[in-house]
């Protein structure tokens, strides 16, 4: 059986020691020459192969950050001892999918490593939350509300998959951290992070869809597993945040969501795939919890609007999703998978994405198997970033599960 194989040169790679963390010797890769396999490779196999490559090229093998991953491959001058929290969480999301598919990827160990990003306090707030960076032992950097919410989503998922109540307790702490960030400026909502609140002239000081949308999604996920005594308060918090985003950042023309409200009250009308995606997911959940069709209708309108807005011809592709930030697009696709049972046209949206992913697998990878950021294959930009590989991993895992694949299938 003929498959796409990595060049023989990578079989001979040797580990070397480098400044306290062993990494693969860096040999500059080349763009691959597209070659279709005679027999298709299952998506779960592609996902596991990429996960193994991420461990091979990005894994930190010694020193204080052993078990974590580097931000870039090859590691750049000035990089931290380990990656920022965002790409690490992207990797954990992909590992969760592999775990569901039946692979042993030491999933619990990866989830447990969130602990090294944890900060007990920051900026005068004596409530624990996850920082954007780590020294390998404790968290540092800024505590972003969207980062913490995304970790919370991963923790709830880990609790559902392992039944380890420690993960539920850690998720509960994130609820308290998010509460510490809510205020009434501009009518409610969360800022992007706790360090840059209400600072005039600072573009990072804003109330964005990402912080509020992902906080809503985390709270609705946590609602499904939390103690009965917490449910009313958690649901009320989620509804406040959802309503704030809907009222302030939804484009009524297409149901997509703008990026943020600035300190001045002006709206940054940039649109990103993941912002609309998370609000679709939230609408589905609120419709289910509250038995209210209104929320599902809002989600369907946003799904229709997102496909119309973001999908365009690109290069040799008749239809393609944006050629940048694949992690963002993966979140939109996950919302399309969720809404398909209620809105069958979403199957076409997913099919377009699968074609896009297939094209990227063939035309937008290096000879070492790592993905470009741009899946149209026109520019191998930012391929060195862990986040780009984590996005491809999660995308492959999502498609494998969508197609009903399993590592244990005969």
pLDDT tens track, the chain, 410 positions:
433 333 333 333 333 334 444 556 677 787 776 666 667 899 999 999 999 999 999 999 989 999 999 999 999 999 999 999 999 999 999 999 999 999 999 999 999 999 999 999 999 999 999 999 999 999 999 999 999 999 999 999 999 999 999 999 999 999 999 999 999 999 999 999 999 999 999 999 999 999 999 999 999 999 999 999 999 999 999 999 999 999 999 999 999 999 999 999 999 999 999 999 999 999 999 999 999 999 999 999 999 999 999 999 999 999 999 999 999 999 999 999 999 999 999 999 999 999 999 999 999 999 999 999 999 999 999 999 999 999 999 999 999 999 999 999 85
Distances (CA, A) of 208 to 85, 170, 201, 212: 19, 24, 16, 7
Cβ count near 398 (within 10 Å): 25
Residues 6+ apart with CB under 8 A from 348: none
Q: How confident is the model at residue 270, as a pLDDT?
A: 98
CA distance linking residue 409 with residue 378, whole number of Å = 36
Residues 6+ apart with CB under 8 A from 229: none
How many Cα atoms are found within 13 Å in the side-chain-facing hemisphere of 39? 5
Residues 6+ apart with CB under 8 A from 209: 245, 249, 257, 258, 259, 260, 275, 278, 279
Q: How confident is the model at residue 29, as a pLDDT?
A: 84
Q: How confident is the model at residue 40, as a pLDDT?
A: 87
CA distance linking residue 296 with residue 289, whole number of Å = 11
Cβ-contact 145, 123 below 8 angstroms: no
Q: How confident is the model at residue 2, as a pLDDT?
A: 36
Q: How confident is the model at residue 18, as a pLDDT?
A: 44
Cβ-contact 346, 339 below 8 angstroms: yes
Beta-bridge partners for 15: 24
Residue with tokens 């580990």: 15
What phi-psi label fits residue 141: left (phi over 0), alpha (psi between -120 and 50 degrees) or beta? left
Q: How confident is the model at residue 1, as a pLDDT?
A: 42
């Amino acid at each position: 059986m003929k498959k796409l194989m990595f060049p023989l040169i990578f079989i001979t790679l040797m580990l070397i020691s480098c400044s306290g963390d062993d990494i693969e010797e860096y040999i500059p890769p080349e763009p691959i020459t597209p070659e279709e396999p005679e027999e298709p490779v299952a998506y779960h196999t592609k996902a596991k192969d990429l996960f193994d490559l991420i461990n091979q090229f990005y894994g930190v093998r010694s020193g204080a950050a052993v078990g974590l991953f580097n931000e870039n491959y090859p590691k750049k001058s000035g990089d931290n001892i380990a990656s920022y929290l965002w790409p690490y969480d992207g990797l954990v999301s992909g590992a969760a999918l592999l775990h569901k598919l039946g692979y042993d990827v030491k999933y619990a160990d990866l989830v447990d490593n969130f602990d090294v990003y944890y900060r007990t306090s920051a900026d005068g707030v004596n409530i624990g939350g996850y920082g954007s960076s780590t020294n390998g032992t404790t968290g540092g950097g800024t505590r972003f509300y969207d980062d913490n919410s995304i970790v919370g989503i991963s923790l709830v998922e880990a609790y559902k998959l392992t039944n380890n109540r420690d993960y539920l307790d850690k998720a509960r702490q994130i609820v308290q951290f998010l509460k510490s960030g809510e205020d009434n400026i501009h009518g409610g909502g969360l800022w992007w992070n706790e360090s840059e609140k209400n600072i005039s002239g600072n573009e990072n000081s804003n109330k964005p869809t990402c912080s509020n949308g992902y906080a809503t999604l985390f709270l609705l996920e946590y609602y499904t597993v939390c103690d009965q005594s917490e449910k009313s308060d958690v649901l009320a918090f989620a509804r406040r945040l959802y309503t704030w985003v809907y009222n302030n950042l939804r484009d009524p023309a297409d149901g997509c969501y703008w990026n943020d409200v600035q300190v001045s009250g002006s709206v940054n009308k940039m649109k990103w795939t993941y912002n609309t995606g998370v609000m679709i997911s939230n609408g589905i959940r609120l419709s289910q919890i509250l038995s209210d069709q209104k929320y599902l209708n809002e989600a369907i309108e946003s799904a229709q609007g997102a496909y119309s807005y973001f999908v365009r011809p690109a290069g040799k592709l008749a239809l393609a999703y944006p050629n940048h930030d694949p992690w963002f697009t993966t979140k939109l696709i996950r919302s399309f998978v969720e809404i398909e049972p209620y809105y069958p046209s979403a199957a076409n949206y997913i099919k377009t994405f699968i074609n896009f992913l297939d094209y990227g697998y063939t035309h937008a990878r290096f000879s070492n198997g790592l993905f470009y950021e741009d899946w149209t294959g026109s520019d191998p930009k930012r391929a060195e970033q862990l986040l780009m590989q984590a996005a491809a991993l999660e995308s492959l895992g999502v498609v494998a599960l969508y197609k009903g694949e399993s590592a244990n299938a005969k």
